[in-house]
Structure 1
Amino acid sequence: MRISARTQYALRAVTELAVAPPGPVPAEKIASAQNIPRRFLDNILLQLRRAGLIHSQRGPDGGYWLARPADQITLADVIAVVEGAPEHAEHGGYPGVARPLADVWSALREHEETLLTEITLAHIAAGTVSGGRPETRP
């Protein structure tokens, strides 16, 4: 799986919102904290707002905040908004001894999807991801 720069920026921006104190966070603060070009970030924030993952408020006290608690937004949610629904290329049709490769690609895709739906913004914000998996802390 390849993750575009746009998707990486989106994930960094929503993670910044996940750790922010309650209330709107100005786009400039997000851009500065995550070293994201402001104009690029504005387009990403608009896309996330239209998808219902974040809310916004205009004005001098305006900014952005998560539309749901961080433990209810997965990495898969954000990726789906920015990248669109994952494409499932069919790898069938491998001839002869290479035929099992189709099963390998299918299993790999399933593992990616499972992992991305298990990890929430709360896991990222709390630093509770180890070895690519969310940790459970007592």
Structure 2
Amino acid sequence: MHISAKADYAARALLELAREPDRPLTCEAIASAQQIPFRFLKSVVGELRRAGLVRSQRGCEGGYWLGRPADTITLLDVSRAVDGELLTLRGETPGALAYPGAATRLPGIWRRIEAEAAAILGGVTVASLLPEDGAADRDRPLSRQGAA
């Protein structure tokens, strides 16, 4: 499975927004805090906005906020918002695959991998990834449900 830069940047942007949910953040502030290329982040945030994961306001008091509470946004939501299907093989989803002969059972493995990945990503919310004390805590392992 490949985790795209878009999905990584999108998750990191949402974590920045979730850290301070009462004030809007600009793309510049998010890009600087997370060391993400600004131009790339602008397009990623646009996709998050279209998916309803962030909302925006123009003007000098403007910026971006979470589109819904951090405890309702999962990494699965983020991945699907910016990348579409979780797993594809030659442009097809595993559900549409069928192979003949000796490879008959292989599409079932691809479907199982997709289901397991979806279960893991769907069990981790943006809120569960926030450090409890506000300090960077990136080395602490997460449990399967995303709770630390």
Task: Determine helix, strand or coil for the equivalent of 1:93.
Answer: coil
Gaps of 5+ in 2: 132-136
Residue from 100, 115, 119 that aligns with 1:110: 115
| One-letter amino acid matched to 1:114 | A
Whole-Å separation in 2 of the counterparts to 1:73 and 1:13: 13
Query: Over aligned residues, Cα RMSD in angstroms?
Result: 2.2
Whole-Å separation in 2 of the counterparts to 1:74 and 1:6: 15
Q: Report the equivalent of 1:69.
A: 69
When the two structures are aligned, how many residues end up with a matched partner? 135
| One-letter amino acid matched to 1:79 | S
Matches of residues 34-113 of structure 1 in structure 2 within 5 Å?
34-86=34-86, 87=88, 88-89=93-94, 90-93=96-99, 95-96=101-102, 98-113=103-118
| One-letter amino acid matched to 2:14 | V
Whole-Å separation in 2 of the counterparts to 1:105 and 1:15: 30
Q: Is 2:129–2:147's contact at 8 Å kept on the other side of the alignment?
A: no
Q: Give the TM-score normalised by the residue count of structure 2.
A: 0.79
| One-letter amino acid matched to 1:25 | L
- Cα distance per residue 1:49-95 (max 9 Å; x no partner): 12211111122221111011100001111111101133423553253
Q: CA deviation at 1:104?
A: 2.4
Whole-Å separation in 1 of the counterparts to 2:141 and 2:63: 28
Q: CA deviation at 1:43?
A: 1.3
Runs of 4+ in 1 over 3 A off after TM superposition: 98-102, 126-129
Gaps of 5+ in 1: none
- Cα distance per residue 1:103-126 (max 9 Å; x no partner): 322211110011111111011114
